[in-house]
Structure 1
Amino acid sequence: MYRRILSLALSLGGLGFIANQGWADEAATTTEESIRVKAQREMVYLLVDKSKLTADLMTMPEDNQQSEHLISFKIAIGKEEGDKQKMGDNRTPEGIYFSQRILNGRKLGKKYGPFAIPIDFPNPLDRFLGKTGYGIWLHGVEADRRIEAAKVTEGCVAFYNADIQSLTQWLVPDQSVVVIAKDGSQVNRPENVAKVRQLTQEWIDSWAKRDLDHYISLYHDSFTVDGKDKQAYYEYKKRVFGSYKNMEVAMNNIRVFTHDRYAVAVMNQDFNGDNRYRSYGRKILYWQLTGEDEWKLFHEEFDEKPLQFVDLSREKIAQIIKSSPSTKALQEHTESRL
């Protein structure tokens, strides 16, 4: 089985891994055949499945094509079962998060291994629900055997040291999505992705058309921003919409991630008002599931750093599969269950 997995990975081919913003490895030497293959830039995200004790590196294309599984890592998680609720409960949180700045393990305790990648727990929905805690990281270990214990962390997600080092090449600081779920089958269900994508497009269209009534109807009754509740935000947007003679709103590179309770849409936003005010950067929309197939916009954020994608390298992926301790460990786990 191991040979079949490796053979499949190697057969994918592709260009060497290209450095991005100084955080990835330099481009690997390519073969004459791989040079003919155009590099594919794509969003890559990590799906942590607590029930399977695996973390899958996946692609998330913009269209409706199915995302592609790149590699699985074996992981260890929190000592206690369930979704994190409060500081010190030793549970691993469940939700949709963004990876943060990579931390060098030499400046941390030995138990974190060579690298740690924080996630933004608690996120806006976590805070609204009253969840507390901090310092939830993806990290290595002082010794790889700790991964075999499975449920040993204080809420973090731990990896074999070689695997966390590989992840530093794929997760873009402050940008990459990390989805943590009790059961991975809850994540990105096609009907949920389609519905949230539809609502996101309605939000974009109503803004561009200055259809304020429909625009505000998409927001949750508990929506707040900068101290404004939903009604105050309505009045604010009414003034903004009326302040421009010409207003252009464009969104691109839209990606939607869904969980069992909420969803996140992330995209690049380009706004131009009368050529006197222009903003370009990343927009994040948090959609909360409020009823059966009913989603409302709960929170939104904007920053001036547009989305950064990675150059997919089949050659690099094949190398990681070949060298990853998880490949053998997951193979042995599968065979032991047969």
Structure 2
Amino acid sequence: MADPEGKLGLVIRSWTAWRQGALLAAGLWAAGLVFAAAATPVPPTSPEARLIQVYRLVQAGRTREALEQAESLTRDVPNFQLAQLVYGDLLLVRQKPRAPAEDLPPAAREQMAQLRREADQRLAALAERPPSGALPREFVELPPSSRHAIAVDASRSRLYLFENGRHGLKLVADHYVSVGRLGVGKQVQGDQRTPLGVYFITSRLDPVQLQDFYGAGALPLNYPNEYDRRQGRTGHGIWLHGVPSQNYARTPQSTDGCVVLANGDMQQLLRDVSPRTTPVVISQALQWVTPAQAESGRAAARHLIEQWRAARSSGDPRRLLPFYSSQFSAGGADAVDWARTVEKDLRAAQGRATELKDMSILAWRDKDDLLVVTFGLVLKGQRTGQVKRQYWGKEGGQWKIFFEGAIG
């Protein structure tokens, strides 16, 4: 990923070096700083962008202007803890502090470390931007009905929002986020980890329905999905949500497993994204692919699904059933029960061809390859049909369906 401005990497290195020298005692003072003045209206520029501008002024040696802008930011957004830390640092530099960081209480040292990591993550996200036009490899194909898509890169504490238009997916916004206290890769209930995988937003929860802890609102995800269940993963209640009103943001690893955004950023998601049709990818580190690379994966996935559609349209169970795993399960039905269901469905179709509408294909790869395929299944001559979701996995090098169910 390239630095679009060329010099931003220098800003990060200069800021780090500057802190290591003169700022040893700053965090305790800043962490405890409380402003009694009421917040003034925030200018159109986001608080994060204003904070980055402070860093740039420091790198340029314009510390007086940096101090003024940091003071303005903390006055406008008094609950932005990282901004308070930076403002405190700048004040203490002018006073030439002497107290070493080791003299701070353990809780204050931990708070300092978390806030500095937040600063690193925010700066790195701006210095190392996704390549122009690139997409996360998980977004194989999205239909026009999916107006947005979301990808979370846990290694960068960043959420990327894409708009799905006439020319495909376009990155329109990205936001700092917090994830689980113990990182990612959720396995069991209460492990304080954020799950990794491909999910869908299931509903929208307004703040009036929630405690203040969830801030501006919440977007629940369908964790555990069928692949998670197949892997024996447990737990529930994984949401995208905001922060309590007294906070601007949370430190990078500070949730019980949810993905948490600043309330202003959460409000944008609540306005823009739609339940059921918005996919959410949560990755340890996103892999960005070029449009040409994405098209190659899309063609292979389409070919696979077309083979399944043709087999179903044939009306012959002997052609269709080989696409299903011997470990298939759906709603309590095993592979034998499913074979009976397939034969019944094919008889009911009376030889009419199957059409797939509004198809979504998402890919996932950790220890197994996975495809999550969602589509409207419509028999020729009909206008509507069931919305189905399939989970495909590799068995002996061959793609097989291990779950299929109606979702609408």
**Same fold flag (TM > 0.5):** yes
* Counterpart for residue 282 of structure 1: 387
Equivalent AA in structure 1 for residue 154 of structure 2 = K
Equivalent AA in structure 2 for residue 206 of structure 1 = A
1:115 Cα shift?
0.5
* Equivalences for residues 40-119 of structure 1 within 5 A: 43-59=147-163, 67-119=169-221
Gaps of 5+ in 2: 6-43, 45-143
* Counterpart for residue 21 of structure 2: none
Maintained 8 Å contact 2:330/2:405: no
Larger radius of gyration: 2
Maintained 8 Å contact 1:181/1:187: no
* Counterpart for residue 180 of structure 1: 282
Equivalent AA in structure 2 for residue 208 of structure 1 = S
* Equivalences for residues 266-277 of structure 1 within 5 A: 266-271=374-379
1:245 Cα shift?
3.5
Residues 113-156 of structure 1 show CA distances to partners (whole Å, capped at 9, x for unaligned) of 11011101111111121111111110000144433x11100000
1:66 Cα shift?
6.0
* Counterpart for residue 92 of structure 2: none
In structure 2, relative to structure 1, the CA distance for the partners of 1:59 and 1:206 (3 Å cut) is farther
- Structure with the higher helix share, 1 or 2: 2
- The 3-state SS of whatever aligns with 1:262 is strand
* Counterpart for residue 219 of structure 1: 324
- The 3-state SS of whatever aligns with 2:361 is strand
Q: State how far apart, in whole Å, the 2-side matches of 1:86 and 1:186 are.
A: 29
Maintained 8 Å contact 1:42/1:60: yes
- After TM superposition, the score normalised by the length of structure 1 is 0.69
Q: State how far apart, in whole Å, the 2-side matches of 1:271 and 1:114 are.
A: 42
- The 3-state SS of whatever aligns with 2:182 is coil
- The 3-state SS of whatever aligns with 1:82 is coil
In structure 2, relative to structure 1, the CA distance for the partners of 1:61 and 1:196 (3 Å cut) is farther
* Equivalences for residues 34-45 of structure 1 within 5 A: 43-45=147-149
Q: Of residues 117, 128, 148 in structure 1, which corresponds to 2:230?
A: 128
1:60 Cα shift?
5.1
Q: State how far apart, in whole Å, the 1-side matches of 2:213 and 2:315 are.
A: 53
Equivalent AA in structure 1 for residue 405 of structure 2 = E
Indicate whether 1:300 and 2:300 are aligned. Answer: no
Q: State how far apart, in whole Å, the 1-side matches of 2:288 and 2:371 are.
A: 12
Q: Of residues 373, 376, 386 in structure 2, which corresponds to 1:265?
A: 373
* Equivalences for residues 20-31 of structure 1 within 5 A: none
Equivalent AA in structure 2 for residue 103 of structure 1 = L
Q: State how far apart, in whole Å, the 2-side matches of 1:245 and 1:47 are.
A: 42
Maintained 8 Å contact 1:187/1:259: no
Maintained 8 Å contact 2:179/2:253: yes
Q: State how far apart, in whole Å, the 2-side matches of 1:202 and 1:43 are.
A: 27
Maintained 8 Å contact 1:60/1:255: no
**Alignment RMSD:** 2.9
In structure 2, relative to structure 1, the CA distance for the partners of 1:207 and 1:113 (3 Å cut) is same
* Counterpart for residue 200 of structure 1: 305
* Counterpart for residue 249 of structure 2: 146
- The 3-state SS of whatever aligns with 1:164 is helix
Q: State how far apart, in whole Å, the 1-side matches of 2:170 and 2:330 are.
A: 36
Q: State how far apart, in whole Å, the 2-side matches of 1:247 and 1:176 are.
A: 31
Q: Across the two proteins, how many residue pairs are aligned to each other? A: 261
Maintained 8 Å contact 2:378/2:386: yes
Q: State how far apart, in whole Å, the 2-side matches of 1:187 and 1:211 are.
A: 38
Q: State how far apart, in whole Å, the 1-side matches of 2:386 and 2:289 are.
A: 26
Q: State how far apart, in whole Å, the 2-side matches of 1:296 and 1:60 are.
A: 29
Query: What is the identity percentage for the equivalent residue pairs of Structure 1 and Structure 2?
Result: 26
Greater relative contact order (Cα 8 A, min sep 6): structure 1 or 2? Answer: 1
Gaps of 5+ in 1: 7-39, 305-338
* Counterpart for residue 166 of structure 1: 268
1:71 Cα shift?
1.3
* Equivalences for residues 9-24 of structure 1 within 5 A: none
1:252 Cα shift?
1.9
Q: State how far apart, in whole Å, the 2-side matches of 1:97 and 1:201 are.
A: 23
